[in-house]
Amino acid sequence: MKNNKSRRKFIQQSALATAGLSIPSYLSASNVNGLFSNVAPSDQLNFGVIGCKGMGWSDMKAHLEIPGVNCVALADVDENVLAERSANVKELGGKKPKLYSDYRKMLENKDIDAVIIGTPDHWHCLNFVDASNAGKHIYTEKPLANSIEECNLMVDVAKKNNSIVQVGQWQRSGTQYDEAIAYVRSGKLGNIRLVKCWAYQGWMKPVPVKPNTAPPKGVDYKMWLGPAPERPFNENRFHFNFRWFWDYAGGLMTDWGVHEIDIALYAMNAKAPKSIIASGGKFAYPNDASETPDTLQTVYEYEDFTLLWEHATGISGGNYGRSEGIAFIGNNGTLVVDRKGWEVIPETKNIDGEKVSKTEKVDFTPGKNHALGDHAKNFVAAIKGENVNLNCGIETGSIAAINAHMGNIAYKTGEKIHWDAQNGNFKNNDEANKLIKANYHNGWKLPTV
């Protein structure tokens, strides 16, 4: 079918008819697996990928494990990456995808139903708005965008176009996080006054200082820069390490922070802080090439609790013996959850000289599923059956990203900043409010709704 809207409606109706059931309002990991086990050729979903090197390809691979999903197009500024990923698609049993050096040309392909955005953060907003306006559904990597202004714009564009959007904060699809959140909300921990989130990345070594060079052969570096400030090519700022430079991303605060802060705020039914203060710097590797802080503590004040974000490179020994995680600290006990599982550590009280637990001890309970895979299944289910709740929709992704960006803004200003939720800006702080904005260069313009 040539018309995308008609095709998507047909896909939805066919999937329901084939399964012999009606789509529930929520599809869990356990019941989504069988929904698309026998997919007719007319029910296929065609995906394109924008930015295929790292997580863009990991996300595509997760979707290709779902029956009926095809990778039909790849867009990347690096011809070497395009050749490698094209071969990977064929190795996985697919047909050779169409290859594009300019993602905008790919979006003209009417056969594409959905796109995966795996570009550096400074490209997310442009990729997203163009894809949404082209009528594509979108799975976008986190953080949602590289500024608060872009996050808000993307939410508005998705609403205008009725785009189905899944943000790649895939912890939302992990069973251990579902179980932990339910326990937090049960009240068994008592009054939760403090939530700790952290990422201690012992594997991270210094980024060595390297000279500027010509771009590698086959790389459209001008396109890679896009709206970022014009600079000579430097290997340090390219694949993967772009995360540690302010032009393109927000360091560990936005890279890992969105994952952990997302779970914390969701469990606590919170969205925006009243104030933020941050302290840190380049303490581990002060002379390496990176710009973002390798050590940071950020304190967020919410209505009835405080959240502490911590990150450090070159150190693996994080809180509770875990290199990353979230701890909900209540009067009766502490729940700790990470990508391996969750547990509850009770507080005790003294009764007649004996220590008695204030709440039940919950032994370590491992996660039971492949969260990234189920995150992809949830997105596909949402496309095929419009009433499915997305595990991490556009608004959810924006909340996590905006809070993480607030942490970086507090760090950059060196001040305690106060958020005005009604007006969507910081109170009496011009410097902080300037950092809300996206600054585009090289002739690129911030999109409009």
Which residues partner with 362 through β-bridges? 344
Q: Judge whether residue 221 has pLDDT over 60.
A: yes
- Tell whether omega for the bond before 143 is within 30 degrees of 0, i.e. cis: yes
Peptide bond before residue 232 is cis, with ω within 30 degrees of 0: no
State the pLDDT at residue 35.
43
Query: Is the separation of the CB atoms in 49 and 57 below 8 Å?
Result: yes
The pLDDT value recorded for residue 355 is: 87
**Residue 302's pLDDT is what?**
98
CB 69 within 8 A of CB 379: no
Q: Note the pLDDT tens digit of each residue in 272-286.
A: 999 999 999 999 999
DSSP SS3 for 53:
coil
Whether 296 has a pLDDT exceeding 80, the answer reads yes
Residue position matching structure tokens 């875990």: 322
User: What domains sit in the chain, N to C, each tagged with a CATH number?
Assistant: 4-172+373-393 (3.40.50.720), 175-368+399-434 (3.30.360.10)
Q: Given pLDDT bands bounded at 50, 70 and 90, which one contains residue 20? A: very low
For 174-188, how does the pLDDT look when each residue is reduced to its tens digit (9 = 90+)? 999 999 999 999 999
Per-residue pLDDT of 40-50, as tens digits, reads 555 899 999 99
Pairing state between β 417-420 and 275-281: antiparallel
Residue 217 DSSP class: T
